């Protein structure tokens, strides 16, 4: 955005205002919408919104810069207000798109990271992501120096739309499945909760061993009319 503003002949105050608009929407959308969007609609939906915003923003910026190039070639300066409005609109779109993808790469890498290799996996994922940022910066600079800045913006718009197609055709959704609805905590399910609690108690409580009782029955073996200790018969009975 600073390069585009400078190429359009903006002064330091205008450049600062354009950057402030872009970064302001980046922070606002990233703080308010990025997390709920990724958790509610999925990682791919957040990535698609970001890629679509980048595509539209870079296309708008390329259009503004190309129109300014025609002015330099002799078209006059009658469209200056439209170019300024287009510059601020492109800054807003790019800021919102960047905010929508806030934390997206790290979130997807966390979803995919294996439990036993989480640290090395996240580190390598970050290396690949930062390498793309560095190479992209060099590519934009090289194209802008060799051709024009609007050509670099046009290429970025095409790349964003290609990424959108790749996201939906190749990349799988990494969002974990949502938790089960809290039906077990509903007071209306109290009978079922009681039944489940009883079942858990029965399943976890060890079964008592049958108790053995001795039943003494008198038996006058010597028929003398008196009971002696040896005359008691012991019958064992198991009581469950």
Q: Please name the residue ranges forming H helices in the chain.
A: 2-7, 12-29, 35-40, 43-70, 80-100, 104-112, 118-146, 149-169, 190-204
Q: How far is Cα 232 from Cα 218, in angstroms, rounded to an integer?
A: 5
Whole-number pLDDT of residue 56: 92
Q: Could you tell me if residue 76 is inside a domain?
A: yes
Question: 152 with 61: CB under 8 angstroms?
Answer: no
Together in a domain, 41 and 145 = yes
**In the prediction, which pLDDT does 8 show?**
79
Question: Would 38 be classed as within a structural domain?
Answer: yes
Flag whether 202 is in a domain. no
- Per-residue model confidence (pLDDT) at position 177: 72
Kindly state whether residues 224 and 139 are assigned to the same domain: no
What mean pLDDT comes out for the span 189-193?
Answer: 48
Q: How many domains are there within the chain?
A: 2
Q: Which of 32-46, 67-81, 177-191 has the highest mean pLDDT?
A: 32-46
pTM attached to this predicted model: 0.67
State whether 40 and 134 are in the same domain.
yes
Q: Are residues 37 and 129 in the same domain?
A: yes
Residue that finishes a domain, picked among 119, 145, 169: 169
Domain region containing 240: 211-240
What is the structure's pLDDT at 216? Answer: 47
* pLDDT at 14 exceeding the cut of 70: yes
Q: What is the per-residue pLDDT across 131-156, written as a single tens digit (0 to 9) for each? A: 998 998 899 889 988 888 888 999 99
**Which pLDDT score, from 0 to 100, does residue 228 have?**
54
Q: Residue 162: is its pLDDT beyond 90?
A: yes
122 within some domain: yes
Domain boundary among 110, 139, 169: 169
List the one residue out of 172, 148, 180, 183 whose CA is nearest residue 61. 148
pLDDT, tens digit, for every residue of 94-136?
999 888 888 888 888 888 888 888 888 889 988 998 999 899 8
Q: What is the mean pLDDT of the chain?
A: 76
The per-residue pLDDT for range 208-223, each reduced to its tens digit, is 555 554 444 555 455 5
């Amino acid at each position: 955005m600073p390069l585009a503003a400078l190429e359009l002949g903006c002064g330091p105050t205008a450049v600062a205002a354009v950057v402030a608009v872009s970064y302001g929407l980046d922070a606002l959308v990233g703080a308010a919408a990025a997390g709920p969007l990724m958790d509610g609609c999925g990682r791919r939906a957040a990535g698609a919104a970001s890629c679509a915003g980048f595509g539209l923003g870079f296309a708008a910026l390329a259009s503004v810069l190309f129109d300014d190039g025609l002015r330099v070639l002799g078209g006059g300066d009658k469209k200056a207000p439209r170019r300024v409005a287009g510059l601020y609109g492109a800054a807003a779109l790019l800021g919102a798109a960047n905010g929508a993808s806030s934390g997206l790469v790290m979130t997807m890498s966390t979803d995919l990271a294996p439990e036993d290799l989480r640290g090395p996996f996240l580190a390598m994922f970050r290396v690949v992501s930062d390498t793309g940022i560095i190479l992209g910066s060099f590519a934009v600079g090289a194209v802008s120096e060799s051709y024009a800045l609007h050509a670099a913006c046009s290429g970025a718009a095409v790349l964003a739309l290609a990424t959108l197609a790749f996201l939906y055709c190749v990349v799988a959704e990494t969002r974990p499945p949502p938790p089960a609805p809290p039906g077990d905590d509903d007071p209306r399910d109290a009978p079922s909760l009681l039944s489940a609690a009883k079942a858990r108690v029965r399943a976890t409580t060890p079964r008592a061993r049958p108790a053995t009782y001795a039943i003494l029955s008198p038996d006058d073996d010597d028929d003398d009319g008196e009971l002696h200790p040896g005359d008691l018969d012991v019958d064992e009975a198991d009581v469950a």
